[in-house]
Amino acid sequence: MSDPRYWLGFHLTKGIGPARIERLLRHFGDLGRAWEADPFELARAGLGDALQASLAATRRAYDLDREIERIARAGVTLLTWDDDRYPARLRQISGAPPVLYVKGELLPEDDLALGVVGTRRATSYGREVTTRLATDLAAAGLTIVSGLAKGIDACAHEAALRAGGRTLAVLGCGVDVVYPPENRRLAARIAEGGQGALLSEYHLGAPPDAPNFPARNRLIAGLSLGVLVTEAPAKSGALITTDFAAEQGRDVFAVPGSILSASSAGPNELLKDGAKPVTGADDVLSELNLVRRAAQVETRRALPENADERAMLRLLGDDPTHINDLGHASGLPMNQVGSLLLLMELKGLVRQTGAGQYVRA
């Protein structure tokens, strides 16, 4: 992994975005070399006089070591394109942010995520529908992604937390600047409770400027397998998120509502345009081929992992291991090893790859 200081430096430079950084990486192979390059080499890499002046201004304005320390003191992790922890699904989209600020914890299971968005002025119907769907989807093992706004977003985050699931909040400001202020407690629960994270492409202290929110919506879609709109008027910002989802090849889901309700005009229009109708969590899970995973999550909750399972998982890896070898290494009777592996397979913890051969799932 390359030095994050230089990623941060270019990220802070006005006029240099994902496309420019791609070009710098192709030319120099490393952003550290680009940061130290002379004007002639920068020009060869495509940085004209104006961008070079902007870069020089950034070099004067920021002590990168101090900025990295400030980010760490705020309890924030800086992820770049070449960091293994950077969300793989987000990295696939055009214009993925080269630098991502994360407050909280991203886990591998967050790769199975669903965006849940809608109006800030949610009706009782919208709140109830969102709560029920987000609860069931989170309980089935999907990470709920939304924007921490009032209304539908807050309902989705709250429901995921109460269900014991995970949720990611994508902000249109710095992760240290919670907006709206009334969601500060919710943001703290997400960031500090071990059930998710706050994410942003904006530097610490960045205010919630209006242009940031449409850009924020592309990240909600980019992190997700699909986007579900539960309630939104015809001109809602939530529909921008579904536009990004469609552009990125992600599924678009919508909850039908009354034709007499302006608050359901957005989802109803999406349905006419080909969005997948949702009246229950199973509609989403089936479309995403995650019904089996939901059953595994349910089994794990009903039968929590025990010491024997943890010991067996330590013996397993990506290469197949025969059941006889597992029995010998674990010291357990063979009939117990067979029963244990069968239960772990039902939970989705292990996978059988051939006759008596097992790997970690």
d(CA 283, CA 141): 15
* Residue 31: closest CA among 4, 52, 56: 4
Q: First and final CA of the chain: distance in angstroms?
A: 27
State in words which class domain 1-67 has. Answer: mainly alpha
108-293 has the same fold as 1-67: no
Distances 270 to 53, 132, 229, 241 between C-alpha atoms, Å: 45, 21, 9, 12
d(CA 341, CA 358): 8
pLDDT given at position 347: 77
d(CA 255, CA 229): 6
Query: What count of other Cβ atoms lies within 10 Å of the Cβ of residue 341?
Result: 21
pLDDT given at position 293: 63
Tokens of 27: 């030319």
Residues 172-204: b if buried by 16+ CB within 10 A, e if exposed: bbbbbbbbeeebeebbebbbeeebbbbbbbbbb
Domain boundary assignment for the chain: 1-67, 108-293, 303-360
Residue-level pLDDT, tens digit, the chain, 361 residues: 679 999 999 999 999 999 999 999 999 999 999 999 999 999 999 999 999 999 999 999 999 999 999 999 999 999 999 999 999 999 999 999 999 999 999 999 999 999 999 999 999 999 999 999 999 999 999 999 999 999 999 999 999 999 999 999 999 999 999 999 999 999 999 999 999 999 999 999 999 999 999 999 999 999 999 999 999 999 898 999 999 999 999 999 999 999 999 999 999 999 999 999 999 999 999 999 886 665 556 655 555 577 888 888 889 887 889 999 999 899 899 988 988 898 888 877 888 887 888 988 7
**Fold for the domain defined by 303-360:** Arc Repressor Mutant, subunit A (1.10.10)
* Residue 225: closest CA among 201, 241, 249, 247: 249
CATH no. for 108-293: 3.40.50.450
Secondary structure of 287-320 as H, E, C letters? HCCCHHHHHHHHHHHHCCCCHHHHHHHHHCCCCC
Say which residues have a Cβ less than 8 Å from residue 302's Cβ, sequence separation at least 6. Answer: none
d(CA 254, CA 271): 6
d(CA 64, CA 6): 8
pLDDT given at position 229: 98
Say which residues have a Cβ less than 8 Å from residue 279's Cβ, sequence separation at least 6. Answer: 255, 256
